[in-house]
């Protein structure tokens, strides 16, 4: 159940709904309790994941002793109430509401995208309306194409769900209601931004008013079969369904009542490795390569089972396992657990949305982890949460949520963490050695080095005084920092000695799973085999390797999400080639299917030894998540030893920050034709001056040994001398880039060709 609706939860209450005695807790609405007890109350505007909208009046009920009907979606249940959800009067009133909804509604179910899953259609049938009895003078209301979604005002029933989602959940705040009697409509105030997050608004639209443009009119809803899965583009692992007909994915849907997707999850489905057949020669070469490989380099966008197979291969041949991002995260979390004594962090997304004060450190969270941003936004909208955003680059997309932006110098993360922890632990009892470490900090010096003033931390402290639930979000900038282990230990103090909900965002989709399953190594040796990463012999699901592999929507498997939950993924697209398990089998590591390994995932790392086919994948009627299972938390040995904070060479001058735009995560999202993004280097005009570049210049530069050729664009909303460089489009080289995200580089301006 949506916890934001149950503020004063705890007190037991008993009420009677339609003669059934229902026990619940105070704070829930009548509708929520009815749903908990499987009692049906019709609704049109109710959406569990947002605050009640109360625009439709369909949910009216009678309560004994109360005059007139009350809205069950809004009214908190009281102890002893006797509720009637249906009577002749209520039915008649609901029927007249439906008559009003049908006024001037175009009779176009025959071509409407929503037909078959339309709330208006269903309720019109349910309330037995065979005709439209009234009408109003109509006017021309043309369809508006907004980019990812298009809007047909003639079909809109003004339920407001889309507006609420855009404000309370995704936080793009693009949609607004425009009142005007029968010409009321929804307006998009940000058409030029073409937010892909509007896909979330479209998914909750109960009618065909707001629909995905790329899906519009391509098929009827009932022709599609739903394949439940998890989105693996980032570590949020959101619940979703592939909707498939004739082996083609037509769209992605989700359980929008309780969960959301980001733009990549919603529109990035078209990346399968298609038309692959079994090439036995290439396969034999791959087996030989794997046998003789000294190291296996891979991107952590693989399933747990594949990671487990790689670990088995390592145990067999002694090859090193190299996955940079997962390795950095693994080391970070090991250092972190050495302080907290738990092998995983304590936080999760839901706790973020319930917080009243949130600190984000080391992540451009709107781009890195959209689901984290959504949850911060929910906290901001529901609890008016204080949000402190600590990062070297300001993000305009976060402006309406962030209450305090704390800009620090790139590279000074260690000092910043120390200052932050010092602030948070100020009045808290901590062991002597920790206190000694904190007291020893040279605050003035650290403050100067990181460029955050002491008064900013004081402000932060002050703003958190009257708040009750706290979250700290840690991002990928810290994992790859040269002093990552020290930073991890400092941050871990927050989890250990305060009641903060701490989340360390895994840097890529299954980095957490990989870091738990594999013994990773630091440096690769020649001769190497790559899995979705460039190496001497490359296995690739991107279609350009030495042997083809299936993409993650072409195989079964599991992944571990940011919520520390193992979730199943299923097959949505056919695949005719060889898979990693075939190679392992040829090497004598035998399992019939890849998913036979699901139950063997290491128990000591929190996996529960459940078979793939026994994993649940659903939400209950009240929104309890029953997807896969939560990893068990294990105790780890602790050791508190802190080093002195190291002075860092400053990052002055032009710096480049590796960061993908918000709908792009990896070479897989890059393959999707439905996501529109141009990969370019964007910087402020200040950056342009420092580097002597002009808007539209072609530049080249090298980061971590990988050469980038990019178009440079000046982004007027940016400030400072750090430019943003996407890495998602580098194909098999992308997994090789993941070192510290800030880099000082030599930018070479390419000669413009005269034409």
Partner 1 sequence: MSLEQFKNRNVGVQSYKTLDVGTPPKTGMEKFTQVVKRSVKGELFVGLGVVMKRMLEALFKNDMHTVKYPFEKMPISPRYRAIHEMLRLLESGNYRCIGCGLCEKICISNCISMETRYDENQRKEVSEYTINFGRCIFCGYCAEVCPELAIVHGQRYETASEQRAGFSLFEDMLTPIDQLNLQQEFDGFGAVSPNADDNIKQTPLAY
Position among 39, 210, 297, 302 found at the interface with ligand SF4 (CB under 6 A): 210
First to last CA, the chain: 62
Q: Which residue's CB is nearer to partner 1, number 208 or number 667?
A: 208
- Interacting partner of 220 out of ligand FES, partner 1, ligand SF4, none (Cβ under 5 to 8 A depending on kind): partner 1
Q: Longest Cα pair distance anywhere in the chain, in angstroms?
A: 84
CA dist 175 to 185, 343, 674, Å? 10, 42, 22
Indicate whether 125 belongs to the interface with partner 1 (CB under 8 A): no
The nearest distance, CB 367 to ligand FES, in angstroms, is 35
**Span near ligand SF4 by CB under 6 A; candidates 208-216, 266-274, 642-650, 703-711:** 208-216
What is the SS3 assignment for 539?
strand
Say how far apart CA 558 and CA 567 lie, in whole Å: 5
Minimal CB distance residue for ligand SF4 = 112
- Interacting partner of 186 out of partner 1, ligand SF4, ligand FES, none (Cβ under 5 to 8 A depending on kind): ligand SF4
The nearest distance, CB 112 to partner 1, in angstroms, is 9
- Interacting partner of 209 out of ligand FES, partner 1, ligand SF4, none (Cβ under 5 to 8 A depending on kind): ligand SF4
The nearest distance, CB 44 to ligand FES, in angstroms, is 5
- Interacting partner of 156 out of ligand FES, partner 1, ligand SF4, none (Cβ under 5 to 8 A depending on kind): ligand SF4
* Residue 6: Cβ within 10 Å count: 17
Position among 156, 478, 693, 737 found at the interface with ligand SF4 (CB under 6 A): 156
SS (H, E, C) 40-58: CCCCCCCCCCCCCCCCCCC
What is the CA angle 682-683-686, rounded to 5? Answer: 160
Say how far apart CA 250 and CA 264 lie, in whole Å: 15
Task: Give backbone dihedrals phi and psi of 471, rounded to 5 degrees, phi first.
Answer: -135, 145
Indicate whether 58 belongs to the interface with ligand FES (CB under 6 A): yes
Q: Is 453 within 8 Å of 416 (Cβ atoms)?
A: no
- Interacting partner of 162 out of ligand FES, ligand SF4, partner 1, none (Cβ under 5 to 8 A depending on kind): ligand SF4
Position among 51, 57, 713, 744 found at the interface with ligand FES (CB under 6 A): 57
Q: Is 61 within 8 Å of 48 (Cβ atoms)?
A: no
Tokens representing residue 114 in the block: 């929503």
**Span near ligand FES by CB under 6 A; candidates 39-47, 275-283, 324-332, 416-424:** 39-47
Tokens representing residue 257 in the block: 């009542």
Indicate whether 70 belongs to the interface with ligand FES (CB under 6 A): no
Indicate whether 128 belongs to the interface with partner 1 (CB under 8 A): no
Say how far apart CA 4 and CA 98 lie, in whole Å: 30
Indicate whether 690 belongs to the interface with ligand FES (CB under 6 A): no
**Span near partner 1 by CB under 8 A; candidates 133-141, 156-164, 301-309, 487-495:** 133-141
Q: Is 172 within 8 Å of 197 (Cβ atoms)?
A: yes
Residue with tokens 């982890």: 369
Q: Which residue's CB is nearer to partner 1, number 154 or number 297?
A: 154
Q: Is 216 within 8 Å of 251 (Cβ atoms)?
A: no
- Interacting partner of 265 out of partner 1, ligand FES, ligand SF4, none (Cβ under 5 to 8 A depending on kind): none
Position among 16, 18, 36, 54 found at the interface with ligand FES (CB under 6 A): 54
- Tell whether the torsion through CA atoms of 482, 364, 169 and 461 is positive or negative: positive
Between 324-340 and 484-497, two packed helices, what is the crossing angle to 10 degrees? 40
Binding site for ligand SF4 (CB under 6 A): 105-106, 108-109, 112, 114-115, 118, 120-121, 155-162, 186, 204-210
Binding site for partner 1 (CB under 8 A): 107, 110-111, 115, 131-138, 143, 213, 216-220, 222-223
Binding site for ligand FES (CB under 6 A): 43-46, 54-59, 71, 73
């Amino acid at each position: 159940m949506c916890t934001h609706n149950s503020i004063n939860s705890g007190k037991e209450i008993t009420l009677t709904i339609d003669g059934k005695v229902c026990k619940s807790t105070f704070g829930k609405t009548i509708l929520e309790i009815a749903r908990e007890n499987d009692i049906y109350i019709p609704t049109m505007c109710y959406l569990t994941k947002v605050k009640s909208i109360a625009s439709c009046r369909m949910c009216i009920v009678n309560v004994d002793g109360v005059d007139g009907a009350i809205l069950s979606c809004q009214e908190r249940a009281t102890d002893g109430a006797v509720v009637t959800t249906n009577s002749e009067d209520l039915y008649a009133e609901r029927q007249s509401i439906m008559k009003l909804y049908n006024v001037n509604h175009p009779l176009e179910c025959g071509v409407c995208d929503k037909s078959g899953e339309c709330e208006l259609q269903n309720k019109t049938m349910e309330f037995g309306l065979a005709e439209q009895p009234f009408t109003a003078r109509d006017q021309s209301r043309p369809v508006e194409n907004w980019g990812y979604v298009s809007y047909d005002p003639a079909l809109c029933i003004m339920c407001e769900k889309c507006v609420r989602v855009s404000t309370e959940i995704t936080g793009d705040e693009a949609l607004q209601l425009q009142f005007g009697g029968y010409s009321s409509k929804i307006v998009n105030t940000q058409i030029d931004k073409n937010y892909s997050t509007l896909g979330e608004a479209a998914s909750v639209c109960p009618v065909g008013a707001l629909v995905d443009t790329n899906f519009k009119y391509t098929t009827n809803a009932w022709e599609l079969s739903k394949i439940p899965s998890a989105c693996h583009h980032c570590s949020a692992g959101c619940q979703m369904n592939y909707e498939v007909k004739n082996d083609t994915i037509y769209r992605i849907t989700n359980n929008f009542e309780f969960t959301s997707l980001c733009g990549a999850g919603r529109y990035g489905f078209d990346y399968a490795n298609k038309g692959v057949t079994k090439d036995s020669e290439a396969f034999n070469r791959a087996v030989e390569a794997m046998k003789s490989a000294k190291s296996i380099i891979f991107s952590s966008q693989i399933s747990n089972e594949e990671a487990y197979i790689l670990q088995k291969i390592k145990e067999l041949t002694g090859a090193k396992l190299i996955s940079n991002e997962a390795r950095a995260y693994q080391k970070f979390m090991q250092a972190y657990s050495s302080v907290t004594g738990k092998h995983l962090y304590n936080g999760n997304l839901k706790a973020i949305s319930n917080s009243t004060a949130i600190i984000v450190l080391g992540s451009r969270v709107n781009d890195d982890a959209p689901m984290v941003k959504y949850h911060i936004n929910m906290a901001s909208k529901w609890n008016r949460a204080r949000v402190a955003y600590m990062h070297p680059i300001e993000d305009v997309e976060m402006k309406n949520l962030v209450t305090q932006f704390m800009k620090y110098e790139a590279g000074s993360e260690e000092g910043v963490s120390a200052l932050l922890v010092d602030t948070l632990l100020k009045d808290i009892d901590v062991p002597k050695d920790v206190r000694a470490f904190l007291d020893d900090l040279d605050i003035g010096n650290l403050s100067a080095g990181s460029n955050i003033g002491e008064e900013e931390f004081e402000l932060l402290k002050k703003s958190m005084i009257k708040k009750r639930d706290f979250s700290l979000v840690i991002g990928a900038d810290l994992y790859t920092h040269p002093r990552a282990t020290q930073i991890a230990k400092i941050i871990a103090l927050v989890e250990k000695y305060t009641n903060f909900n701490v989340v360390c965002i895994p840097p890529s989709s299954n980095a957490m799973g990989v870091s738990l399953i594999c013994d990773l190594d630091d440096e690769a040796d020649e001769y190497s085999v790559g899995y979705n990463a460039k190496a001497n012999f490359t296995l690739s699901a991107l279609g350009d390797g030495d042997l083809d592999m299936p993409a993650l929507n072409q195989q079964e498997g599991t992944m571990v999400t940011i919520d520390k939950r193992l979730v199943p993924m299923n097959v949505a697209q056919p695949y005719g080639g060889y898979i990693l398990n075939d190679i392992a089998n040829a090497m004598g590591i035998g399992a019939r299917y890849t998913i036979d390994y699901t139950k063997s995932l290491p128990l000591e790392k929190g996996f529960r030894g459940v078979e793939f086919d026994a994993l649940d994948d659903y939400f209950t009627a009240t929104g309890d998540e029953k997807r896969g299972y939560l990893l068990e938390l294990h105790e780890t040995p602790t050791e508190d030893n802190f080093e002195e904070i190291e002075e860092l060479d400053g990052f002055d001058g032009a710096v480049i920050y590796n960061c993908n735009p918000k709908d792009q995560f990896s070479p897989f999202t890059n393959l999707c034709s439905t996501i529109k993004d141009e990969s370019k280097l964007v910087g402020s005009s200040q950056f342009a001056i420092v580097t002597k570049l002009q808007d539209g210049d072609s530049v080249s530069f090298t980061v971590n040994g990988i050469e980038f050729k990019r178009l440079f664009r000046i982004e007027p909303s940016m400030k400072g001398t750090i430019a943003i460089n996407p890495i998602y489009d580098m194909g098999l080289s992308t997994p090789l880039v993941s070192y510290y995200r800030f880099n000082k580089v030599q930018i070479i301006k390419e000669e413009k060709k005269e034409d």
